[in-house]
Structure 1
Amino acid sequence: MTILDAHGLISGKKDMMYCVITRLELMELRRIVEKYDGSAFITVSDISEIIGDHIKKTSKVQQEVIAQQMEQREKAFAESEE
């Protein structure tokens, strides 16, 4: 998983999460994202090839930690816009 600083044309500064997961992990990822950001924009693409050995399975604990970090970043961003 990679977190990127992104800038939306309309929405402004946002964090973007990019990850490669299995079809079985998709429902769990959706649940986590919806829990922390119900208005998140999600795209799903089929991958035909991955080059490199950087793929590691993320445990549920790691997923929750990542989701909490995303929530903290979103709160910090919202506070900075006030």
Structure 2
Amino acid sequence: MTILDAYGLISGKKDMMYCVITRLELMELRRIVEKYDGSAFITVSDISEIIGDHIKKTSKVQQEVIAQQMEQREKAFAESEE
């Protein structure tokens, strides 16, 4: 998983999470994202090739921790906009 600084033309500054997961993990990821950000924009793509050796499986506990960190970052960003 990678967290990127992004900027939406309408929404402004946002954090973007980029994940490569299996089809079996998709429903769980959707559940986690819906729990923490029901308005999140999600894209799903088929991958034909991956090059590199940085691929590690993320446990459900790690996914929850990452989701909590994203929620904290989103709250901090929202507070800075006020």
* Shared fold per TM-score greater than 0.5: yes
Shift of 1:81: 0.5
Distance 1:19 1:51 in 2: 15
Q: In the alignment, what sits opposite 1:13? A: 13
RMSD between superposed Cα atoms in Å: 0.4
Q: 3-state DSSP class of the match of 2:6?
A: strand
Once the two structures are superposed, what CA deviation does each residue of 1:27-61 show, in whole Å capped at 9, x if it has no partner?
00000000000000000000000000111000011
Shift of 1:17: 0.3
- Normalised by the size of structure 1, how large is the TM-score? 0.99
Shift of 1:63: 0.3
Q: In the alignment, what sits opposite 1:75? A: 75
Deviating above 6 A after TM superposition, structure 1's stretches of 4 or more consecutive aligned residues are: none
Q: 3-state DSSP class of the match of 2:13?
A: strand
Distance 1:55 1:32 in 2: 21
Distance 2:72 2:81 in 1: 14
Shift of 1:74: 0.3
Q: How many residues align?
A: 82
| Residue identity (%) | 99
Gaps of 5+ in 1: none
Gaps of 5+ in 2: none
- Normalised by the size of structure 2, how large is the TM-score? 0.99
